[in-house]
Amino acid sequence: MGLQTLSSWTGQIGTVVLGATRSEGGSRSISYSIGGERDLPFLGSPPSGHRPLVAYEICDDLSIWPPVIREFLKDRIREPGAWAREAGDQWKPDLIRLFLTSTRKRDFRDFAAIRRTVEEVLQQSPLPLIIEGSTDQAIDSEVFAACGEAGEGERLLLGTAEAGRYRSIAAAALAYGHAVIAQSPIDINLAKQLNILLRETGVPENRIVIDPYTGALGYGFEYSYSVMERIRTSALKGDADLAMPIISGASDTLTVREVREADPGISQRVAVTWEFYTALSSALAGASIVCVRHPQTIPLLLDAIDALWGGAQELQGVRGSHLPHVRHETCQWQRRRGPLPLSG
């Protein structure tokens, strides 16, 4: 095609490897490289770097999970292991993100239970795993040690390190060979600082994933969108302290007013649409992993990402039935250019 973009970047996003297959010392059916881009998201044919991944979020205590999801899953919700396996089979996410929400109970001490949960998820689901451990400094070190050890060799992605509390998680990542999510509140300088702190603790840059904090669509998403764009462009301009891949999970998306108060008849559809818009926008802003909670968002998002990617480069490993489907979609567009027979 006869129009070229004018980007002339000097930097490159670093890569992070997630998941380890049997030959790599783990038990995952696939491992992913994320990052590696030399340009803005999806630019170039084929685009540089690796295609963004879609993570499906599950948890071990549903009491704080969005009501719209509990309603959708109903009796399909089981123990985290079965949940991960069934969701993986049916909806084909690239990876699973397990929130250990049970740790948020007051005076939580049952670290053996967490360990069992992690082991069970790893046994039942062959996908690479992201684990969100505690959010409380007082139990961080036990929680992350339990998760880290249970997943030793699997190259997990552990979250979430913050400026005030990153040592326990860094220690677990270093001891058991995992990567770390570094979260800062919508601020490029704070993101940079935290990356530097983590590196000083000994976490190498190829094991850090930036979480710039994603606000829900309509509730501050524009700040998150721009901070992701700024992190990406700073990295491409050569700032090595920001040249890590980005993860985006708009956890508040399914509890915003539009979803909560939607007409019962369309609430599921509103939830899926709201998540889809936020996640796809984040991928376009530069996120390498986008996370969702409604299973029906997953295939929509995979198709959209494939269409943006251009189908030019196969994802490392397999992505189930999605690729053929996408080729079909893009061809269809070619055929349907010009007058469009409006359906119905």
Partner 1 sequence: MKLASGKGDVDRCPYLDDQARDILGSSTRPPIRLVKVGVGERSFPIGEEMVQFRHEKTFYHPPGMMVAVSDLWTRDRIQEVVARVRDTVVVRVGTDQRLSGVAIRHLSGDPAAFRTAVEAVEEVADLPEVLMAEDPAVMEQGLAVCGHFRPLIYAATEKTDETMCNLARDYGCPLVVKADDPGRLPDLVERCKGRGVQNLVLDPAAPSLHQFQNISTAIRQQAITRSTPSLGYPVFLDAAATGMQEAAIVTGILRFASVLVLENPDQASLLAFLTLRQNIYTDPQKPIQMTPGIYRLGTPGPDSPVLLTVNFSLTFFTLQGYLEAARIPCFMVIVDTEGLSVLTAVASGKLNETLVAESLKKFSLEKEVSHRSLIIPGYAAPLSGRIEEASGWKVLVGPRDAAEIGEYLEKEWKQ
**The one among 285, 291, 292, 315 contacting partner 1 by CB under 8 A:** 285
| 186 contact choice in ligand B12, partner 1, none (CB below 5 to 8 Å, kind-dependent) | ligand B12
Asked whether position 277 contacts ligand B12 by CB under 6 A, the answer is no
- Residues 25-54 as x/- pattern, contact with partner 1 by CB under 8 A: ---------------x-xxxx-x-------
* Residue in 148, 197, 146 with CA at minimum distance from that of residue 176: 148
Residue 280 CB coordination number (10 Å)? 19
> Least CB distance from residue 175 to ligand B12, whole Å?
30
32-35 and 15-18: which strand pairing?
A: antiparallel
| 79 contact choice in ligand B12, partner 1, none (CB below 5 to 8 Å, kind-dependent) | none
**The one among 56, 166, 213, 276 contacting partner 1 by CB under 8 A:** 276
Q: Using CB under 8 A, which of the segments 104-112, 132-140, 149-157, 327-335 binds partner 1? A: 327-335
| 196 contact choice in ligand B12, partner 1, none (CB below 5 to 8 Å, kind-dependent) | none
* Residue in 148, 231, 161 with CA at minimum distance from that of residue 201: 161
- Give, for 175, the enclosing helix (H) or strand (E): helix 167-176
Task: Compute how many residues bind ligand B12; rule: CB under 6 A.
Answer: 5
How far is 110 from 181, CA to CA, in rounded Å? 24
Q: How many CA atoms, within 13 angstroms, populate the side-chain half-sphere of residue 287?
A: 27
Q: CA angle 294-297-298, nearest 5°?
A: 105
**The one among 9, 111, 223, 277 contacting ligand B12 by CB under 6 A:** 223
Residue closer to ligand B12 (CB basis): 187 or 241: 187
SS3 110: coil
Asked whether position 296 contacts partner 1 by CB under 8 A, the answer is no
129-132 and 157-161: which strand pairing?
A: parallel
> Least CB distance from residue 134 to ligand B12, whole Å?
19
Q: Is the peptide bond before 160 cis (omega within 30 degrees of 0)?
A: yes
Q: Is 68 exposed, middle or buried, given 0-12, 13-18 or 19+ CB atoms closer than 10 A?
A: buried
* Residue in 159, 164, 155, 154 with CA at minimum distance from that of residue 144: 159
- Give, for 267, the enclosing helix (H) or strand (E): helix 267-285
Asked whether position 218 contacts ligand B12 by CB under 6 A, the answer is no
Asked whether position 185 contacts ligand B12 by CB under 6 A, the answer is yes
Within 189-248, which residues bind partner 1 (CB under 8 A)?
A: 215, 217-223, 225-226, 229-230, 233
State the residues that interact with ligand B12 by CB under 6 A: 185-187, 220, 223
Residues found near partner 1 in the complex (CB under 8 A) = 1-7, 40, 42-45, 47, 215, 217-223, 225-226, 229-230, 233, 255-258, 260, 262-263, 266, 269-270, 272-274, 276-277, 280-281, 284-285, 300, 303-304, 307-312, 329-330, 332-334, 336-343
